[in-house]
Structure 1
Amino acid sequence: MTLEVHLDEQDLARTLRADVRAGLTATPKWLPPKWFYDARGSELFEQITELPEYYPTRSEREILTDRAGEIARLTRARTLLELGSGYSTKTRLLLDALTAEGTLRTFVPMDVSPSALTAAAARIEADYPGLRVHNIVGDLTRHLKHLPGGGNRLVAFLGGTIGNLIPEERSAFLGDLRAVLEPGEHLLLGTDLVKSPSVVVPAYDDAEGVTADFNRNVLRVLNTSLGANFDEDGFAHVALWDPDQEWVEMRLRARWPMKVTIPGVDLVVDFEAGEEIRTEVSAKFRREGIGHELAEAGFALDHWWTDRAGLFGVSLARAVG
């Protein structure tokens, strides 16, 4: 097993400080969703994926269960690279199919969390003897240039995570990814689809309150990492559908006026009652929009699959020209 680190603790700390200073001095306030994911946040997200309201994971798993063999035959990938891999749970469907196809030699998961990477990689090495596992600790918006070359590569970016990027960020990300791929190599992209808000919003505001706890975890991260004194109970979890942007926004809304001190960035932040921090955008997509964004970045959308309920889409695109 190889561990390649492009994002160490000092780099993470610098990035966190920069994001907190920029986001909490902006109007309106915001924080990037990547700061949900300390060990506790990762555990909470795993719980979210099992909730009855949270359809994306089940829907994408259904597609991969049905289509993994076809994906393996179409790509005949020697190297599978997974971006934002986390615990690589659904990826095993692809690993199984590519192993059965007889082409797979290397698995390259990239994530910001070294602990999630190494835990998943140890299990995968044990379950897939002979498979080379090359872990990369990195940020998918900054470190794609470090993805290893060689072999016919398939990049998997699953879970609808691309929806956490606003359009300008998606364009930059897809362009950066195309720049590191050779013509003919593939991108497997998971995208949550536009549907009724009555289905979408509960996926981000479950009855058990797990998503609310996950949302407030960003405050715990700031308290632990930067010495902040956020009162977690002072912020209500909010999930709203924006019909113009066709995305869900998660926010934290101050229940009463507060003054929060954040010594790690030498900052004092005032909140009025009702003031919000936007913590996540989760864009939903249509097939024609995905095809356009991929084409703009230099990909051809060759195959498109949905689950039987039409809630989620997985596209297989090929780097061209």
Structure 2
Amino acid sequence: MPHEVIMPALGMAQDTGLLVGWLKQPGEAVNADDVLFEVETDKSTMEVNAGFDGFIAKLLAEAGQEVPVGETIAVISAEQPDLAAVEEESSGPIVPDKAAGNTRVEEAPGASDGLKSARLPEKAPIAIPKSEGKILASPKARRLAGEMDLDLNRLVEAGHVQPFHVKDLETLKTLPPTGTAASGPHTVRRLVAETGDDDAFADFAGWAATTGACQDQGALLAGFAALSLGRLPANVAVDRAGDRTIYAVPSTWLGQVAAAESSKPFDLHVRDLRFTRISSVDLGAEDCPTISISRAGRGLRLTLEIAGHRLTAEEAVNLLSNFAGRMEQPLRHLL
């Protein structure tokens, strides 16, 4: 019996998901736990498992397409499909529809050979323009680009087609220097935000410890930071009272945040300086976005420091704004 794979709802207010790319192709065997595709919402890019064992029978959506939640995007069959039949079934020309995305038009019986020769290539890449500072890339490509000090913006500026995958990093390495330091590794972005008079995070942490939801404030800070960045899964280093703990944040559920191996690379760094005499921080950029939390009167001062090539200006603003919002109103994290 074939199984239908639908576009999942990854957020409560999500109506559609942007299909970043497929990691399996028709005819390939797949296990239920294999990552089948990547989808981007307004908050993050996430990998989605197949959910069933079998073979990829059909892929019904293209990379770069906005797909409504609940719509069937793939079919997994128990037996290996006839690839020739699958290709013939899906070989009609793609006609762009402004209202509903790309719509496949079936060829009428007896259509001329001239029409067949005018079909678009089945595997033709879809060029996705840069939109609102967002770059479409797989989580692994983002992580490796950060570790290697590579700026994915340069692929966009050079006209390469999104979404980007690990193989595109080799192309990125070969691009000539841009001749500008506007977004280079020596450019530092420093942003500061302050919360209100009420230190709501301390109250929230007390409630979480009392109810047994989470007794580790470092884990709460790691979860807030990762969700504010909008890239899951993520590893977050948290410095508290002179000790560093690296937390793995696999999902939006704070109960799943757990301490990881101390040798793991991390995507974010949080310094908890609330119980020190330090009130202002200007230490320069590190290898990843760093948020320092210090006291500001009865509230908190949040300082983000990041190398210019790590995040765009818009991404940096969104990261700090989201984190400040969660620290000031922690319950928004649960909504």
- TM-score bracket, normalised by the shorter chain, equals under 0.3
More relative contact order, 1 or 2 (CA 8 Å, 6+ apart): 1
Relative to the length of structure 1, the TM-score reads 0.23
Give the structure with higher Rg (CA).
2
